[in-house]
Structures are given as structure tokens and as C-alpha cells.
């Protein structure tokens, strides 16, 4: 019986008709031929970056826009186009794209430069080298041949917030060191106010040009979804109102197209798994739920144990207390938990920083609050839905063996 089941376990996959023709079209790595509803932004960016075809260094560019407003896609499409045109004229243009938010990859000055160097094919160790040495190596590989390098730094505000603006200053000065190659920097941020507290020199050279990407509205999202869906799905598998509902959900959250596409994909995957031939609006509800949980869960899972224990104590406390928990309480519980699972506890100083980082990640919302005679503390609220936090709590308690 068991053996028979095993034999057939994959048979269903084979025989089951897939709803997709090309799932990749809905994944975030996919770069389409063109972007919809971004004509004016496309023109602006093209005008700025296009100057490298005349052999000039393109101005540094600063792009503002929330996640999923097409910043990355637009730049990537343009770069692809540029490289194609440039090849004909014999110039070399190279694009480096890096998301500065990625933990352990690009969240410090050293790691950012090291990662950039690695993308250019250098072997750079994770630690041990002086930072200027890493810079030197990076410069050397950029300057190895005449080329224009376009450096796209996504979510650059996160990096600067953490490590200061020295990186920007160094990067913007890079051109003075280079003889053959040229570099221009494209900074992407979703915080409009971010450049305000920047070193004036770095600020002026970074934002030589600025382009703002506004969020998509629901109608535009529908167009995008339809466009992609026609490539991704077999015809007729999308039920009535599915596109509209996806768009509406995403529009509610600052018009995030990436999210809308993912929502559609996950919904279809759910339908497929249930052996249904039609994607229905009900699947979207399920998908939204799943994505919400999954996103937070993935984030939490990749954190160090100390973060997880800190978060777990916050979750425990805030399920008992509705109106915010304080650092002191969290730390007390945290210490107990550490003892229970034989983990050497960190100091309160460090836990305080960890709470600040959880805040940055958007899992909690912690604001400093002075309670007069009763001191000063952070008031911590969860910024994830209750159902999700319950699931995270459950998963953590199992994972940490508490």
C-alpha cells in the first residue's frame, strides 16, 4: 500500500493540467519587455542614463518610490536596452544591482563594497581585510577596462541609517580615482525625507538628478496584471473579478505591483494544488493570508536566535497586554527564557538595540516614551496582524523548544 502510494506520488503532477504556461512571468525576478504606465518616468531616467552613449558620464540619479512602483524594473529594462545599443557602438556598459537591506550581504560599508567586488568576479573574504583594501580591489576591477558602470543601490536609506553616509561619500568620489572607467550611482529609496540628514557634499553629488515614482492606482494595477496574466496563464483559467480583486488588494497597500503579481501567483498555486481549474476570488483571500504569514515567517526564521527569543518575549507579553509592552518587561522575560533554553543572555543594552532593529524590520513598532517620574522606555506594539503573530509565536515556541 505504502509502496504503491509512493510510486504514484508524482504521477498526479504529471497528469494534472497546470494552470500556468509560464510561472516565471509572475515572479519578482522577471523582467518584462516594457513597463506599463511608467512612460514619463522611463523617459526621464532614459534621458539621464542615455548620456553614456555619447561617452559622457551619466549624472548620478536618485529615485524615490515605494516598493513595487516599478523602480527596479524600469531601471533594469533601460540598462538592458542601453547595453544592447552600446554594444553596437562598441562601448561597454555594466549594471550592478544590489539591495542594501539584505542582512549579512550588504548592510555595512565593508559588506556592500565586498559584495560589489564579488559581483565583478573578485574573491573577497567576509572579514579580515581592511575596508580601504576592499575599496582598492573594487576600484581595480572596475577600472580594468574602459566601461561605464551603473551602480544601482536599492533601499539605500536602510544602509545609510545604519552605517552613516561615509559610503556614499566614498562612492561618489570614485570617479576621481578611476582612469578608464566611469561610474554613476543610482540610489533608490522609499523614504522621501532621507536625503535631508545627509552630508551636504554626498547629497549634492548623489542627487544630481531625481525622479519620483508614484504608486500605481487600482486601474493601472489591473492593466499590469492583465498583461502579465496573459503571458503566465493558459487562457480562461482566471475567474470573474480575480484581476480586479488582486489589484484592489494591492492598491490598498500603496499600490505595490510586485505584491499584486505575487498575490495572483500564490492564488493560482493554491487553486492548482486543490485540483481546481479556475482561479477564484476566494483563492485570493487565501493567498493574501498565506503571503502575510509567509513573509513574516521567512524574515523571522533567518534571524539569529537572540532576535527570535527577544521577539518571542514581545509576542508573549503583548498577547497578554493590549496597550504596548515596555523594554524592562521584555528584558526580564527574555532573561528567563534564555535560562530555560540554556542560551547565554545578552545585556539589556544589546536587547535594546535588537528591539530597535525589529522596529526597522517592521515587525514591531517601538517608540521612545518618557513616563515622567516612572522613567523612560520604549512602548512596543506589534505591527503584524494578530493571526500572523499567533502563528509566529507558535512556530517560534516549537523551533526554540520553549
Question: Footprint of DNA on this chain (CB under 7 A)?
Answer: 104, 108-111, 125-131, 304, 306, 326-329, 344-350, 352-353, 355-356, 368, 370-378
Long-range Cβ contact pairs of 47-53 (< 8 A, separation 24 or more): 48/209, 48/211, 49/78, 49/79, 49/82, 49/150, 49/184, 49/186, 50/82, 52/82, 52/86, 52/91, 52/93, 52/148, 52/150, 52/182, 52/184, 53/82, 53/85, 53/86, 53/89, 53/91
What's the min distance (Å) between Cβ of 361 and DNA?
14
Cross-sheet strand order for the sheet of 376-382:
325-326, 376-382, 364-370
Roughly how many angstroms between the first and final C-alpha of the chain, as a whole number?
38
Minimal distance, residue 200 CB to DNA, in Å: 20
Q: How far is the CB of 130 from DNA (least distance, A)?
A: 4
C-alpha cell at 118: 564579488
Closest CB to DNA among 66 and 161?
161
Cβ 263 to DNA shortest distance, Å: 33
Task: Tabulate helix, strand, coil % of the chain (nearest 5).
Answer: 55, 15, 30
By C-beta, is 5 or 323 nearer to DNA?
Answer: 323
**6 or 126, CB closer to DNA?**
126
Contact 100, 112 (CB under 8 A): yes
For the sheet with 209-213, list strands across it: 93-99, 148-154, 182-189, 61-65, 209-213
Where do runs of H (alpha helix) occur along 143-256? 156-163, 166-172, 174-177, 200-206, 218-232, 242-252
The grid coordinates listed for 373 are: 517620574
Residue 140 C-beta: closest distance to DNA, Å? 14
CB of 112 to DNA, least distance (A): 8
Q: Which three cell numbers stand for residue 20?
A: 500556468
CB–CB of 60/173 below 8 Å? no
Q: How far is the CB of 365 from DNA (least distance, A)?
A: 13
If the CB atoms of residues 228 and 378 are measured against DNA, the closer one turns out to be 378
CB of 321 to DNA, least distance (A): 14
- In terms of CB distance, is 91 or 122 closer to DNA? 122
Containing 394, the helix (H) or strand (E) segment is helix 386-399
Nearer of residues 44 and 115 to DNA, judged by Cβ: 115
Cβ proximity to DNA: between 236 and 344 the closer is: 344
**Cα–Cα distance for residue pair 334/402, rounded to 1 Å:** 12
Judged by CB, which is closer to DNA: 131, or 175? 131
Amino acid at each position: 500500500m505504502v509502496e504503491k502510494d509512493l510510486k504514484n506520488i508524482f504521477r498526479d503532477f504529471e497528469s494534472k493540467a497546470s494552470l500556468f504556461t509560464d510561472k516565471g512571468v509572475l515572479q519578482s525576478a522577471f523582467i518584462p519587455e516594457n513597463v506599463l504606465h511608467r512612460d514619463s518616468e522611463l523617459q526621464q531616467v532614459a534621458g539621464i542614463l542615455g548620456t553614456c552613449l555619447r561617452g559622457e558620464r551619466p549624472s548620478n540619479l536618485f529615485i524615490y518610490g515605494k516598493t513595487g512602483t516599478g523602480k527596479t524594473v524600469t531601471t533594469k529594462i533601460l540598462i538592458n536596452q542601453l547595453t544592447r545599443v552600446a554594444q553596437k557602438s562598441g562601448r561597454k556598459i555594466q549594471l550592478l544591482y544590489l539591495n542594501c537591506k539584505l542582512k549579512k550581504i550588504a548592510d555595512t560599508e565593508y559588506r556592500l563594497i565586498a559584495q560589489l567586488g564579488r559581483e565583478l568576479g573578485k574573491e573577497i573574504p567576509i572579514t579580515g581585510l581592511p575596508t580601504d583594501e576592499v575599496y582598492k580591489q573594487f576600484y581595480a576591477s572596475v577600472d580594468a577596462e574602459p566601461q561605464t558602470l551603473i551602480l544601482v543601490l536599492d533601499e539605500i536609506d536602510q544602509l545609510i541609517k545604519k552605517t552613516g553616509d561615509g559610503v556614499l561619500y566614498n562612492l561618489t568620489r570614485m570617479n576621481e580615482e578611476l582612469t578608464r572607467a566611469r561610474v554613476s550611482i543610482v540610489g533608490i529609496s522609499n523614504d522621501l525625507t532621507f536625503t535631508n540628514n545627509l552630508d551636504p557634499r554626498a547629497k549634492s553629488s548623489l542627487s544630481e538628478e531625481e525622479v519620483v515614482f508614484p504608486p500605481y492606482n487600482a486601474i493601472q494595477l489591473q492593466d499590469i496584471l492583465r498583461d502579465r496574466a496573459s503571458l503566465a496563464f493558459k487562457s480562461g483559467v482566471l475567474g470573474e473579478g480575480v484581476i480586479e480583486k488582486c489589484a484592489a488588494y494591492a492598491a490598498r497597500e500603496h499600490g505595490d505591483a510586485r505584491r499584486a503579481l505575487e498575490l495572483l501567483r500564490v492564488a493560482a498555486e493554491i487553486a492548482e494544488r486543490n485540483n481546481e481549474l479556475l482561479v477564484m476570488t476566494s483563492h485570493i483571500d487565501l493567498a493574501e493570508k498565506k503571503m502575510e504569514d509567509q513573509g513574516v515567517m521567512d524574515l523571522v526564521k533567518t534571524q539569529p536566535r537572540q532576535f527570535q527569543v527577544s521577539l518571542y518575549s514581545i509576542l508573549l507579553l503583548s498577547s497578554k497586554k493590549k496597550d504596548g509592552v515596555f523594554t524592562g518587561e521584555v528584558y526580564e522575560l527574555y532573561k528567563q527564557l534564555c535560562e530555560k533554553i540554556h542560551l547565554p543572555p545578552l545585556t539589556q543594552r544589546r536587547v535594546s538595540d535588537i528591539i530597535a532593529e525589529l522596529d526597522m524590520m517592521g515587525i514591531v513598532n517601538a517608540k521612545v516614551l518618557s513616563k515622567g517620574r516612572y522613567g523612560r522606555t520604549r512602548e512596543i506594539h506589534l505591527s503584524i496582524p494578530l493571526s500572523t503573530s499567533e502563528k509566529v509565536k507558535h512556530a517560534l515556541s516549537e523551533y526554540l523548544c520553549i
